[in-house]
Structure 1
Amino acid sequence: MIMEEHGRMEHVEQGDAGIGVVYSPMIWSDVEAITRQFDETWGHYALLGDNQKLSLLLSYHFVLHYIEPATRGEIAHKNGQFMGVVLSRVSGQPVMFGNVAQEMAKIDERLNSIPAGRKALMDTELGFEIERRMERQTGINDKAPAEVELFLVSSASRGQGVGGQLWSRTMEYFERAHEPMFYLHTDSDCDVSFYDRHGMKRIAEREEQRHPDDGRDRGMAPTKMFIYAGVPAKVKQTVS
């Protein structure tokens, strides 16, 4: 069923598992809900001395980083509650929002004004640089000009098919754009088995703690960073 609400077109999923879940294009006002769910899922409290305000600011930086290159964003919600989001990018298509760089500069200024925030931001930017290095080493951008920037679902969405629906609809977007392959970054803090189950291949792996030259050896449990790649049509077939 297609309906229009709050000035945007929305699709209401009527299947047994996802009844009442609404799927709609992302708008700027969704950023707050995405940031709060990102912080709840991957908050940075250990790095920031359990400072919730700083963790939210850093999570906002992460979310803006993923939004900036995105050409499509889809939100799942139910009765006004955020259920999930997928941000994706197809090379050559226009980005969703043109104000992200300015907004990120404001957030970074606030983080840099506090020592703990400045240190966490430097570590975050180093992580993004390592991802870019992995991309260059694999040549993945030449092979796959499409990327899933962020895939995030809330704990409230479990058992309602939200993740599968968002995933399937993103594969359809890549197919409409005639993209033969796509990729994504993830790490061992996420459920990487989801990508294994859905027919994606791990094409790169790096353990952060084994690279002290990058400044990543912090005496913490090692985090493995991965690049996964897949063919949209084949991945879509794995979603029940």
Structure 2
Amino acid sequence: MDSVEYRPLQNEDIDALGAILGDIWHSYTEGRKRIVSGIIDLANFAQRNTFAEVAVAGGSPVGVIMARAGLPSKQTQERWSSVMQHACKKLDELGGSAADLARFFDAMKQADHDLLEQSASNPDFELVLFAVSDSTRGLGIGSTLMKHAQHYLANHGGSKAFILTDTDCSWEYYEHQGMKRVAERSFADDKDRILPERMFVYEMDLSVIER
């Protein structure tokens, strides 16, 4: 495999990252609709990041991590809100439904809020998004991205940080990394369920990170 570069996320990375997230969360659709749906996911998360890094191999991103220490800047929120609006319009043009994704995000936001309150985690330090392409898993790329985000959070005053995840994600990875589950909720019995079967809050210890 080509050498891997780790650098801040750039505008030209958006399509490739949309493809990665589309493969993870939108496998039920194909082609450009899958990528655009992944871009909408990316923009939804990115609106609250204060740190965003990609792993690049062969000239294309193969992984991404986002973290948040405190509140994102207004510029960050406006930038990614614009990306999201453009992608939603494109998805509708392709025959998808941006409104369905909006309903999902609204339900997810409320569930995340309730879970975070249940966990009693510090709301100021969050691992916002973490994804690696299937083709490069097991090569240590995810571990390196995770280490960089943990250093960022620790250097900005975090002693612990939380991540919101669910059964539609590779949540087991966080346990393998030594993170602790501090809250969970099941939606399996909900009528007309649109949320994942179970949702979790995991917490990482940043006090062991070298500053």
**TM-score of the two chains, using structure 1 as the length reference:** 0.75
Query: Which residue in 2 is equivalent to 1:223?
Result: 197
- Give the alignment of 1:121-200 within 5 angstroms: 121-140=102-121, 143-200=122-179
Per-residue CA deviations over 1:131-185 (Å, capped at 9, x if unaligned) read 2232234343xx2411111100112223321011111111111111121111011
The alpha-carbon distance between structure 1 residues 55 and 231, as it changes in their structure 2 partners (threshold 3 A), is: same
1:99 to 55, 67, 79: 79
- Give the alignment of 1:1-240 within 5 angstroms: 20-45=3-28, 50-92=29-71, 94=73, 97=76, 98-111=78-91, 116-140=97-121, 143-212=122-191, 215-216=192-193, 223-234=197-208
The alpha-carbon distance between structure 1 residues 115 and 33, as it changes in their structure 2 partners (threshold 3 A), is: closer
Check whether the contact 1:72–1:95 (CA below 8 A) recurs between aligned residues.
no
**1: distance between equivalents of 2:62 and 2:202?**
24
Q: Which runs of 4+ in 1 moved over 6 A?
A: none
State, as a whole percentage, how many aligned pairs show the same letter: 22
Deviates further, 99-108 or 76-85: 99-108
Per-residue CA deviations over 1:11-45 (Å, capped at 9, x if unaligned) read xxxxxxx9721111111221111111111122152
Kindly tell me the number of residue pairs found equivalent between the two proteins.
208
Unaligned runs of 5+ in 1: 1-17
The alpha-carbon distance between structure 1 residues 117 and 145, as it changes in their structure 2 partners (threshold 3 A), is: closer
The letter of the residue matching 2:35 is L
Unaligned runs of 5+ in 2: none
RMSD: 2.7
The letter of the residue matching 2:44 is H
Check whether the contact 2:2–2:58 (CA below 8 A) recurs between aligned residues.
no
Check whether the contact 1:204–1:227 (CA below 8 A) recurs between aligned residues.
yes
3-state secondary structure, aligned to 1:191:
coil
The alpha-carbon distance between structure 1 residues 58 and 233, as it changes in their structure 2 partners (threshold 3 A), is: same
The letter of the residue matching 2:185 is R
Q: Which has the larger radius of gyration?
A: 1
Per-residue CA deviations over 1:58-110 (Å, capped at 9, x if unaligned) read 22211101111101111111221322110111104647734112232233345
3-state secondary structure, aligned to 2:48:
coil
The alpha-carbon distance between structure 1 residues 37 and 65, as it changes in their structure 2 partners (threshold 3 A), is: same
3-state secondary structure, aligned to 2:147:
helix
**TM-score of the two chains, using structure 2 as the length reference:** 0.84
The letter of the residue matching 1:66 is F
Greater RCO, 1 or 2 (C-alpha within 8 Å, sep 6+): 2
The alpha-carbon distance between structure 1 residues 187 and 201, as it changes in their structure 2 partners (threshold 3 A), is: same
**2: distance between equivalents of 1:89 and 1:57?**
24
